[in-house]
């Protein structure tokens, strides 16, 4: 009996220890900073006070206090301290823009939901207003902060106005933002746990007015909720009006000024040390065509290679380069492609891109550029005719396995006081296994056979894992990614908030664009969705969509 009692006691002790260990493990998993990546995407309660017509809105859905720990957890061992400090500076700088000190004023009560809305000015001379919504972890945190907030400013000489609007207490005055002159501020406390801070009483009243009707605020927007379900998960939700897309996000005017464009919705998703942005551009009609040619690009990717620092896959480059286009994709990416061609300044590269109906694979290597296209697309005779007009001469160079077509141009060279003529290579054409390879350097054609060297760029595209067939894809190595970000206004603003350059941490960038869920043109018309008459007539396989999807991934070292 004593032995049995002893064994029962041992078993019970083991069970209790295992249970305690399991509970501890579960608690640690739940509190792990890595769980930020699993945050479900949903509109917070504060979205009730964000008007649908906001120029720009940002809903941050995780506890700002956990961000430094996440940055430290995913950073390489040697960089963990700097990653944590950098994230702390970025977080603190963001709240400092509203005159708030995160450490002393917010850290002890701020919850996992922070929302910001930018509102268009009422008149041409007015300034853009903003509303900041802060959720409290308890019922007393926001109230205590509000008392300290206005008490400090009252002691500094700020005249306060206390009133009620729509049954809610409103306090307004002029608060001193950090490093700036005093500015109008207004606050309202909702249900003791949601604080609204606005750039003036009028802006706050506008947000309170909109909260009364589901048709006016984001929380009652069923279409926005549907798009969130499609996006899945993320730590932040961004919406932008067409005007804000151009002003704040740098979209081309030809796209952002379309009358049928409704706006942008995007989610920010952390993936270990990478950041992924998944977005949707929504239109009022089915204006985006899909031609089902994505499977034609597979042979190009399989046969490509070389140590490229940039890799692009373009479905229809000739369409992108047309001057008079009405397709949203062409209006968005066309100017970028034309700008890149002008910067390189290669007549042969421009001719091939303008004649190629796609798909076209474009690599940028140290020795030059390399293009891959379907054999005979574009026709080399058509390319030859265009290049002749530019003063280039075609020649055929026999080789051991296949002949090489080259286009050259005579250049005058002076050496040791003597002049001579030299044939300068403009482009060479080599065909192999149904793929035509064009390049301005013979060494680039040779490097193309080194398929392993291209794996970093191909891995970037694979990491995007874009649903459906991507119309356009781009992968950039470290230097190219930094150059693109340096020219992007949001990145400049982000660095200003952080108080330092963030470019040294950037390791690469990739992007893919595709049409959303499409319906055939006939189905769209029968459903009452007018297909734009400006869109070229579709083929039998063409489909139309009212959504343009994009996914961008930023890699950090």
| Highest averaged pLDDT of the listed ranges 148-162, 280-294, 458-472, 522-536 | 148-162
Tokens of 155: 């002691």
SS (H, E, C) 10-50: HHHHHHHHHHHHHHHHHHHHHHCHHHHHHCECCCCHHHHHC
Cα angle for residues 519, 550, 463 (degrees, 5° grid): 115
Which secondary-structure segment (H or E) carries 248? none
pLDDT at residue 194 in the model: 92
pLDDT at residue 189 in the model: 92
* Unique residue bearing structure tokens 């939901």: 113
Rg, C-alpha atoms of the chain: 29
Between 8 and 370, the higher pLDDT residue:
370
Tell me: cis bond preceding 504? Omega within 30 of 0 counts: no
Nearest one of 94, 58, 484, 540 to 309, comparing CA atoms = 484
CA-based end-to-end distance of the chain: 64
- DSSP letter for each residue of 103-138: IIIITTTEEEEEEEEEE--SSTTPPPEEEEEEEESS
| Highest averaged pLDDT of the listed ranges 79-83, 148-152, 247-251 | 247-251
Query: Are the C-beta atoms of residues 485 and 479 closer than 8 Å to each other?
Result: no
Average pLDDT of every residue of the chain: 80
- DSSP letter for each residue of 456-481: HHHHHHHHH--SS--SEEEEE-HHHH
Between 358 and 421, the higher pLDDT residue:
358
Q: Distance between CA 80 and CA 68 in Å, rounded?
A: 10
pLDDT at residue 175 in the model: 61
Which secondary-structure segment (H or E) carries 283? strand 274-283
Task: Please determine, for residue 443, whether its predicted confidence score (pLDDT) is greater than 80.
Answer: yes
pLDDT category at 124 given cuts 50, 70, 90 is low
Q: Where do the domains of the chain lie?
A: 35-240, 283-374+441-556
Q: Distance between CA 454 and CA 301 in Å, rounded?
A: 10
Q: Distance between CA 34 and CA 74 in Å, rounded?
A: 8
pLDDT 10s digits, 87-107: 888 898 888 888 888 998 999
pLDDT category at 26 given cuts 50, 70, 90 is very low
Nearest one of 146, 248, 244 to 187, comparing CA atoms = 146
pLDDT at residue 400 in the model: 60
* Secondary structure of residue 181 in the 3-state scheme: coil
Alpha-helical (H) ranges within 356-422 are 380-389
Using left for φ > 0, alpha for ψ between -120 and 50, and beta otherwise, residue 493 falls in alpha
- Counting beta carbons within 10 angstroms of the beta carbon of residue 171, is it exposed (0 to 12), middle (13 to 18) or buried (19 or more)? buried
Task: Please determine, for residue 8, whether its predicted confidence score (pLDDT) is greater than 90.
Answer: no
Total count of residues recorded for the chain: 557
SS (H, E, C) 161-219: EEEEECCEEEEEEEEECCCCCEEEEEEEEECCCEEEEECCHHHHHHHHHHCCCCCCEHH
- In DSSP terms, 32 is beta-bridged to none
Which secondary-structure segment (H or E) carries 538? none
- The predicted model gives 14-39 an average pLDDT of 46
Task: State percent of the chain over pLDDT 70.
Answer: 80
Q: Distance between CA 337 and CA 353 in Å, rounded?
A: 10
pLDDT at residue 262 in the model: 92
pLDDT at residue 415 in the model: 61
Q: Distance between CA 233 and CA 229 in Å, rounded?
A: 8
Query: Are the C-beta atoms of residues 550 and 332 closer than 8 Å to each other?
Result: no
pLDDT at residue 477 in the model: 92
- Counting beta carbons within 10 angstroms of the beta carbon of residue 357, is it exposed (0 to 12), middle (13 to 18) or buried (19 or more)? middle
Query: Are the C-beta atoms of residues 525 and 319 closer than 8 Å to each other?
Result: no
Tell me: cis bond preceding 23? Omega within 30 of 0 counts: no
Q: Is the pTM of this model over 0.85?
A: no
pLDDT category at 539 given cuts 50, 70, 90 is very low
pLDDT category at 54 given cuts 50, 70, 90 is very high
- The predicted model gives 268-274 an average pLDDT of 86
Between 288 and 213, the higher pLDDT residue:
213
Q: Distance between CA 450 and CA 378 in Å, rounded?
A: 25
Helix (DSSP H) and strand (DSSP E) numbers for the chain: 18, 22
pLDDT at residue 291 in the model: 54
Query: Are the C-beta atoms of residues 281 and 548 closer than 8 Å to each other?
Result: yes
φ, ψ at 31 (rounded to 5°): -90, -5
- The predicted model gives 417-426 an average pLDDT of 69
DSSP 102: I
* Unique residue bearing structure tokens 């040390």: 273
pLDDT category at 552 given cuts 50, 70, 90 is very high
φ, ψ at 463 (rounded to 5°): -65, -25
pLDDT 10s digits, 286-342: 887 765 555 667 788 888 888 999 999 888 888 888 877 788 888 888 888 888 888
Which residues, at least 6 apart from 117, have a Cβ–Cβ distance to it below 8 Å?
49, 50, 51, 54, 56, 57, 58, 130, 131, 133, 207
């Amino acid at each position: 009996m004593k032995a049995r009692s002893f064994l029962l006691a041992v078993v019970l002790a083991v069970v209790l220890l295992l249970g305690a260990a399991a509970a501890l493990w579960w608690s640690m998993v739940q509190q792990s900073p890595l769980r930020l990546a699993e945050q479900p995407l949903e509109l917070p309660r504060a979205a009730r006070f964000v008007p649908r017509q906001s120029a720009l809105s940002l809903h941050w859905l995780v506890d700002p206090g956990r961000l430094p720990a996440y940055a430290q957890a995913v950073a390489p061992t040697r960089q963990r301290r700097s990653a944590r400090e950098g994230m702390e500076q970025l977080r603190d700088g963001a709240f400092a823009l509203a005159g708030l000190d995160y450490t002393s004023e917010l850290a002890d009560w701020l919850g996992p939901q922070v929302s910001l809305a930018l509102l268009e000015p009422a008149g041409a001379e007015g300034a853009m207003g903003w509303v900041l919504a802060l959720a409290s972890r308890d019922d007393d945190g926001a109230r205590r902060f509000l008392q300290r907030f206005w008490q400090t400013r009252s002691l500094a000489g700020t005249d306060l106005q206390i009133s009620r609007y729509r049954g809610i207490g409103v306090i307004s005055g002029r608060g001193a933002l950090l490093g700036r002159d005093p500015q109008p501020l207004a606050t309202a406390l909702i249900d003791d746990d949601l604080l609204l801070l606005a750039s003036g009483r009028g802006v706050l009243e506008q947000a309170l007015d909109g909260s009364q009707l589901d048709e006016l605020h984001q929380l009652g927007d069923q279409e926005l909720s549907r798009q969130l379900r499609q996006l899945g998960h993320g730590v932040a939700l961004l919406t932008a009006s067409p005007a804000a897309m151009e002003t704040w996000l740098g979209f081309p005017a030809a796209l952002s000024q379309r009358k049928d464009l409704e706006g942008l919705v995007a989610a920010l998703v952390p993936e270990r040390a990478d950041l992924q942005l998944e977005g949707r551009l929504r239109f009022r009609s089915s204006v985006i065509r899909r031609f089902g040619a994505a499977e034609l690009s597979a042979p190009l990717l399989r046969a490509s290679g070389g140590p490229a620092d940039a890799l692009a896959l373009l479905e229809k480059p000739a369409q992108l380069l047309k001057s008079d286009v009405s397709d949203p994709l062409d209006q968005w990416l066309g100017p970028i492609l034309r700008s890149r061609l002008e910067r390189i300044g290669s007549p042969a590269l421009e001719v091939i891109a303008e004649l190629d109906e796609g798909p076209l694979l474009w690599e940028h290597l140290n020795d030059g550029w390399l293009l891959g296209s379907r054999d005979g697309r574009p026709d080399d005779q058509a390319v030859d005719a265009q290049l002749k007009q530019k003063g280039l001469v075609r020649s055929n160079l026999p080789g051991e396995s296949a002949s090489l077509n080259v286009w050259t141009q005579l250049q005058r060279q002076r050496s040791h006081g003597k002049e001579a003529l030299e044939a300068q290579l403009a482009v060479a054409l080599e065909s192999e296994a149904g793929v035509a390879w064009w390049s301005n350097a013979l060494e680039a054609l040779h490097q193309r056979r080194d398929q392993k060297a291209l794996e970093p760029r191909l891995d970037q595209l694979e990491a995007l894992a874009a649903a459906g067939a991507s119309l356009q894809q781009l992968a950039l190595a470290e230097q190219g990614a930094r150059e693109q970000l340096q020219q992007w206004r949001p990145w400049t603003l982000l660095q200003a908030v952080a108080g330092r350059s963030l470019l040294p941490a950037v390791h690469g960038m990739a992007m893919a664009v595709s049409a959303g869920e499409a319906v055939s043109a006939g189905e769209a018309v029968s459903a009452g969705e007018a297909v734009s008459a400006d869109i070229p007539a579709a083929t039998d396989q063409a489909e139309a969509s009212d959504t343009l999807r994009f996914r961008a991934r930023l890699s950090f070292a």
